Structure 1
Amino acid sequence: MNSKPISLEDLHLENWPNLILWAAPIMFLLVFIEWGISAYQKKDAYSTKDFFAASTIGLVNVGISALIKVATFGSALFFYNISPFTIPLTWWSFPLCFVAIDFARYWAHRVAHEQRFWWATHITHHNSSKYNLSVSFRLGWTQHIKVIFFFPVMFMGFNPFVFFICHQIAVLYQFWIHTEYIKKLPRPIEFIFTTPSHHRVHHASDEHYLDKNYGSTFIIWDRMFGTFMPEAERPTYGITKPVTSYNPIYLVFHEWVDIFKDLKKANNFKEGWRILFDKPGAEVIASREKEELPKQEKAPLEEEEVLA
């Protein structure tokens, strides 16, 4: 057990490096370079409206992250203080924590594709038909509730500062894999790390590509748990039911609105649970209505037979 609990004041969060904020100018510069190259080559890689939608979503998300920073790392501190383990703040604690975070990210990401409630926190990242560096900015404003998937990592006894740095690096890694300009890399890299080739498959709406390549930094989790698929033909990007709006608020909340509408039609708790936690696209209400329709059509026939 930790000999002395640490408080938020002890952490001095205001002095911790904001790697994402520091990297932002470089990220935007690379976006404009990629956009310029695609325009020069007359490729349909960017849309002005899509770019501004992604940028707005991303900037608001940065603001939300800043607002809840204390709550997020207050959670890390809470689990660190109650953990029976203490991993010293040394150089090797950083790679160890990073691997643990990436493992948690794999499962958080996978669940976000396999259960509709969590999909609603993630769909914003997928509802663009484009695939370029700016797509990495499209992170749903409700995605922060997925912090609960990282509680086990926090409980492992990593110093909150180690968790903070590794978490930021894990987020930054996602930027460079959102491009079509980097083709397949040498085999050792493709075997261990998530690359643009792997992530293009993940962003596809083609049926055979769906629900593949969840890995954030390491693709080895997909190889281990049977969700890996190599890239073959060029994917069709977006979601299976495309959205045509560029309104950031709509792009963030449209799935939540649809869930709420379906919940209002639910007849019982079981239906409500299925609406929330069945796979995205499972038409719970439509299936029930199809089952009820033959019964409604059959009843008048039975009455006519009685009268006859």
Structure 2
Amino acid sequence: MAEVLYYAIPFFVLLLVAEYASFRHLGDDDDDLVGYDLRDTGTSLSMGIGNVAINVGWKLVVVTVYAALYELTPLRLDPHNPLTWIALFFADDLAYYWFHRVSHESRVFWASHVVHHSSQHYNLSTALRQTWVPMTYAPFWLWMPLAGFAPWMVLLAQAWSLIYQFGIHTERIGRLPRPVEAVLNTPSHHRVHHGSNAQYLDKNYAGILVIWDRLFGTFTGEGERVRYGLTTDIDTHNPVRVAFHEYVALWHDVRRERSWRTRAALAMHGPGWRPEGEELEPSSAARG
């Protein structure tokens, strides 16, 4: 069922081309949109292609683990029961929220996720800027096969979530009607998440439903013009550097410390954390 996402790729490309073309017809009210940069888009596409290639092998590992866990539990949720699908939707979306939140609040996870925030542009190509180290993703869904969801259902839910999220990476859609904005993750909410403005940091972790952010106190609405990217941008279009720059920075920071407790704290705390008395170096642990 993971292939569902791959089948969507041609539609992603068509929508991306359509959005790019739309920036040639901006009105006076759209002058502040960031739009596209061909080098930046090329980097995003390279990251996306690399992610797909790596996931071909990684998904085999994930499926094996999910299947093993599913066989260990006596619980079984009937895929023919509509309530199972409702439960699957909410369970997957909640798992995504916590995966996403931890990916910002723990630097070892951030080192993988920072790739997605490294662009100073915000368009459909940014959605394709994905990590080449996807191993941080799967653990947050391990409980679902144990709860009785068949592995293929878990993979399908992950796929529909990512397909939905592709469409919210755009400046071309403003705020939607208030009832929609109250419940769903929208382009407006996700623009906030990609902002490096101080008031937007570590906000709006939603996948499909923004209710989790409202429930857990991580929601903020779009106000001040969003500045995309990291608090300290890496200013490179080199895919290899984009993929691994934060791992390199984390390694350098860990090596400087003599205490193993401090080294572990550097890895597990958020990207802006430093031991008392130490300052954050501009080139490391940039936040987005």
TM-score by length of 1: 0.85
Corresponding residue for 1:186?
A: 177
Corresponding residue for 2:20?
A: 35
Corresponding residue for 1:110?
A: 101
Shift of 1:268: 1.1
Q: Secondary structure at the match of 1:284?
A: coil
Corresponding residue for 2:230?
A: 239
Q: Secondary structure at the match of 1:188?
A: helix
Distance 2:24 2:113 in 1: 29
Q: Deviations over 1:66-115 (max 9, x none)?
A: 11222111111111111231101225223321210110110110011111
Corresponding residue for 1:143?
A: 134
Q: Secondary structure at the match of 2:140?
A: helix
Q: Structure with the greater relative contact order (CA < 8 A, sep ≥ 6): 1 or 2?
A: 2
Structure 1 stretches lacking a partner, 5+ long:
1-15, 290-308
Distance 2:81 2:122 in 1: 36
Paired residue for 2:218, among 217, 227, 243? 227
Corresponding residue for 2:79?
A: 89
Which segment is superposed worse, 211-220 or 16-25? Answer: 16-25
Letter in 2 for 1:230: G
Shift of 1:286: 6.5
Distance 1:163 1:238 in 2: 31
1:98/1:167 contact within 8 Å kept: no
Q: Deviations over 1:25-63 (max 9, x none)?
A: 111111111111113337541011110100010011011
Paired residue for 1:51, among 41, 46, 49? 41
RMSD over aligned CA atoms reads: 1.7
1:265/1:285 contact within 8 Å kept: no
2:203 counterpart of 1:212: yes
Distance 2:248 2:279 in 1: 20
Letter in 2 for 1:70: L
Corresponding residue for 1:155?
A: 146
Distance 1:145 1:186 in 2: 35
Shift of 1:139: 1.1
Corresponding residue for 2:89?
A: 98
Distance 2:5 2:196 in 1: 29
Shift of 1:144: 2.9
Q: Secondary structure at the match of 1:19?
A: helix
- What percent of counterpart residues are identical? 34
Shift of 1:280: 0.6
Structure 2 stretches lacking a partner, 5+ long:
281-288
Letter in 2 for 1:36: A
Letter in 2 for 1:269: W
Q: Secondary structure at the match of 1:68?
A: helix
Corresponding residue for 1:201?
A: 192
2:68 counterpart of 1:78: yes
Shift of 1:65: 1.2
Distance 1:144 1:115 in 2: 15
TM-score by length of 2: 0.91
* Higher gyration radius (CA): 1
2:168 counterpart of 1:177: yes
Paired residue for 1:248, among 239, 257, 261? 239
Aligned length: 274
Letter in 1 for 2:252: K
Distance 1:284 1:128 in 2: 29
